[in-house]
Amino acid sequence: MQGQQQQQAYDRGITIFSPDGRLYQVEYAREAVKRGTASIGIRTEGGVVLAVDKRIPSPLLEDSSVEKIHKADDHVGIASAGHVADARQLIDFARRQAQVNQLRYGEPIGVETLTKEVTDHIQQYTQVGGARPFGVALIVGGIENGEPRLFETDPSGTPYEWKALAVGAERGDLQTFLEDNYDEAADLDGGIALALDALASVNEGSLLPEEVGLATVDAETESFEQFDDDQIEEYLVENELLDEGDDEDESEDDE
């Protein structure tokens, strides 16, 4: 109780530190990320895999409209976890940066450069008053000079580079799963299999195609590809992860 009062004295503005040097509003924004369903990124030798868990609250909702994976540029995809509308702002920002880079320098933006432009933008919202931090974490994956790269942006505006990571709900269990099962030598299909395995591990072992989002950026073609429900179903069957329960009548959606 005393501790709560103590905390409440410092957590209502982004422009103040607490006595122990913490930024509570940024920490609360991290809680907003945890409220979102999980997103996973995996780097393989053959490219980058992005996979997301989607909750479909009603069978009448188009599952394709629960957007958690976005194409930022031909060679870069972004998965998000947390506040959906905030994610859209950051993805629009990333797309504009990619376009500006192409226009200015005549070449695709580097994945690391793009990530850091996004994190610098996020940091501003943690230091200057008049707005709240972004309640979202992004996984930015793409190909740079032929090499797959995989980054995370967190609500403080810090960039991290990963071999494989999870953000959002159940991050702890998912990250442990990835650490236990990550194989540096895997190809893109191996990465997809690991991603779906991981998602299934926190969904009672099986998945519905319409409740999964999946995309890759291939190191060869350097191009972003998002899979539809049929393709996802194939991968699920292949990996023996398909949930064969009801609700399947929604699976022919496309966009």
Region 15-54 residues binding a second copy, contact defined as CB under 8 A: 15-25, 28-35
Cβ proximity to a second copy: between 45 and 182 the closer is 182
Cβ proximity to a second copy: between 102 and 123 the closer is 123
Cβ proximity to a second copy: between 141 and 236 the closer is 141
Listed residue (154, 199, 179) closest to 55, CA to CA: 199
- According to DSSP, the β-strands at 212-218 and 47-53 are antiparallel
Residue 145 in contact with residue 114, Cβ under 8 Å?
Answer: no
Cβ proximity to a second copy: between 173 and 206 the closer is 173
- Please identify which residue in 72, 178, 198, 215 interacts with a second copy, judged by CB under 8 A: 178
State the nearest-atom distance from the C-beta of 138 to a second copy, in Å: 14
The kind and range of the H/E element at 152 are: strand 147-153
State the nearest-atom distance from the C-beta of 24 to a second copy, in Å: 8
Integer CA distances (angstroms), 14 to 31, 110, 125, in order:
15, 31, 8
Residue carrying structure tokens 């959002």:
168
Binding mask 121-160 for a second copy (x = CB under 8 A): -xx-xxxxxxxxxxx---------------x----xxxxx
Tokens of 187: 């190809």
Site for a second copy in 182-241 (CB under 8 A): 182
Q: Starting from the edge strand earliest in sequence, which strands make up the sheet with 164-167, in order?
A: 164-167, 39-44, 47-53, 212-218, 224-226
Q: Is 251 in the site for a second copy (CB under 8 A)?
A: no
**CA dist., res. 136 & res. 168, Å (int):** 9
Binding mask 51-90 for a second copy (x = CB under 8 A): -------xxxxx-xxxx---------------xxxx-xx-
**CA dist., res. 42 & res. 173, Å (int):** 16
Cβ proximity to a second copy: between 88 and 226 the closer is 88
